[in-house]
Structure 1
């Protein structure tokens, strides 16, 4: 099998090396040289190298990226946003292969090579959105991986038939099914969670539950999820997304919940929104509770914001949580790359032999410099193929 060498790069800002790529994986890392040993050589010019970025919470089926500007509308509540989206999405051709492709191109341009995307499953679109996302992803020929979370944005129990759609999605290959605000959306947290966990256990899939509810209402639902995760033996397969309440609870209650989340093997995903209560990130890190970062939706009917750049999301996380030291700033970048491997079912995602050949080069002195300046991606390799040069897509 022919090898390619990415020569003269600095992994995580360290000493210059050559990274050897073969069969979509990193096959070896050797001291920097000028040789190609008979294979193709890509000159890295001494640039800083990072693993491909991982978006652990996206909605690639929802965006109007690439379409004419869509003005923000509807009521500014979760229920209001859901209603507005349902009323307007068909007129914008959402979901579709074209709009999903436009989002994935932006992700790649910014160095994201793996995505965990919630894809709407409801009585209006059925499973069509999942098919569109799969078709759009396949066209990139392995340059970007997308793991699908079948997501009931409009609720579960209040929409009879949605549980059956989630079950069908799991049977058809979705790795994960989702839930949303069991208390405030469905107003029946026990029924929603029991239904979701039954499918997850029977179909051997993961769960990723959006929880926007605050304070004690949020904490109550964490407890329900912890109980069911332990009972179903789903450690390592359950994620709470957003989870705003965790940063709002009294310290003693929060610490007890963190211990319970650790013992249950539950992870967290956050988009680090401005104005939210900071997560107890260091206590989570010390307990080994995974944290994944994501863009959420970008330019969709919920919000006009976002550009798909995970390095910028990592910067938002750092600023929201008051990170300052080089080690802390480096940790934020790790959350958007190597530490997020489990969210896309990868055993390892790093600049190391055996890892996927997903690599991002930036012109930066070190990792903290790359984080705070968010420079353009000079080169992006996804699945072993060059997909971006000097900030522009070449696929």
Structure 2
């Protein structure tokens, strides 16, 4: 990639600085000095680099969407009224009945939702893609083709997701193995107890597949309370035995909040702390979309234990829900409100979960405005990070691996 100099920006709301991106990597972050006095951003020979004048804007790392479903969206298509029953099983059935008529997964709608993510400053995404007896691996092919149309502006990690269950539909496990061999990064699972009715068998099948095929696991777990907590303990045990620490994620995981002191019918802080210790020892990560009407997660204790915690959009305007616009900054705001965050430090922490804290979910050792990190930068007009969170202003410019992919608020790809 061509070099890029980003001049006069305020990384994380700090003092003005110049950033240098070389071959897609941040190679210098230096205090801003007057033009013509030899700042690192001016060190390249004239004409050797592109220059983006930041104009004093706030600079953040690119947003990381740690949990998306870009294959399901009908973004850009005519409005579809929500239907189905408001249960996991009811939504699965409704989606299976209606998706073909809407052309889901569809190339154009997937391109449209990826472009919307980009417009809001997301530069890396872990997306679940349905793999089942109806669509086979077609969704994976669709998402890859859509990403290619954006010419690499978004970095994607793919999860082969068995929305309709792993074991209750014979042949799905074989499809997951085929997806792993076709190059997906992770295999998914969903509610081993309430969907497949056999938590031990589903968890052990996924762990065996991940270990033999060299992929990760990202398990949707909606089951609440002690039923969900049992499945977390089961997963932690099997992950430790297989040596898969650092390669397994629980998505949603409402049970973790339920068993704590604020949860309905909870058994108290000690139960929650023991579960957190178990998850941390197993090296299991966590993602949340911070949905309303759920119990807050013990996010501080998770961070203290080194449990990776990422934020995601979940589905965006799809057959599960009419909501969502792809803006991770708004998701971070929802997280802050759900958890009662008010101080500047806590508001900044919420934004870090949506940016630098998401590195592990897209296969990066670091993702921040530091030397050696990918050259992913978002510029927006805000006084500071807390101000950016509560107002969610337009992302003025977005840079992905040193390439300007959003200029003046609109994608260039």
| 1:327 paired residue number | 345
Give the deviation of 1:144 after TM superposition: 0.6
| 1:258 paired residue number | 276
| 1:198 paired residue number | 208
1:298-313 to structure 2, matched below 5 A, reads: 298-313=316-331
Larger displacement relative to structure 2 (15-24 or 155-164) = 15-24
Contact 2:132 2:172 in 1 (8 A): yes
| 1:93 paired residue number | 103
Whether 1:371 and 2:389 are equivalent positions in the alignment is: yes
Match of 2:357 among 333, 336, 339: 339
Give the deviation of 1:126 after TM superposition: 0.3
Larger displacement relative to structure 2 (55-64 or 3-12) = 3-12
| 2:403 paired residue number | 385
| 1:162 paired residue number | 172
| 2:304 paired residue number | 286
- Give the Cα separation in 2 of the matches to 1:339 and 1:313: 14
Contact 1:53 1:337 in 2 (8 A): yes
1:160-309 to structure 2, matched below 5 A, reads: 160-249=170-259, 250-309=268-327
1:263-293 deviation line (CA, Å, top 9, x unaligned): 1100100000001000011111111111110
TM value normalised by structure 1: 0.98
- Give the Cα separation in 1 of the matches to 2:347 and 2:240: 34
Contact 1:230 1:264 in 2 (8 A): yes
- Give the Cα separation in 2 of the matches to 1:238 and 1:140: 29
Matched position secondary structure for 1:18: strand
Contact 2:4 2:20 in 1 (8 A): yes
Match of 2:332 among 314, 326, 350: 314
- Give the Cα separation in 2 of the matches to 1:116 and 1:308: 13
- Give the Cα separation in 2 of the matches to 1:74 and 1:264: 37
Give the deviation of 1:307 after TM superposition: 0.3
1:26-67 deviation line (CA, Å, top 9, x unaligned): 121223243544222110000000000000000000000010
| 1:19 paired residue number | 19
- Give the Cα separation in 1 of the matches to 2:4 and 2:297: 42
Unaligned runs of 5+ in 1: none
Unaligned runs of 5+ in 2: 37-41, 260-267
Matched position secondary structure for 1:91: coil
Task: Calculate the aligned-residue CA RMSD, in Å.
Answer: 1.0
1:175-234 deviation line (CA, Å, top 9, x unaligned): 100000000001111111111111001011110100000111101101110110100101
Matched position secondary structure for 2:395: coil
Instruction: Name segments (4+ residues, structure 1) moved above 6 Å.
Output: none
- Give the Cα separation in 2 of the matches to 1:26 and 1:223: 40
Contact 1:212 1:218 in 2 (8 A): yes
Matched position secondary structure for 2:101: helix
Contact 1:8 1:16 in 2 (8 A): yes
| 2:265 paired residue number | none
Residues matched between the structures, number = 395
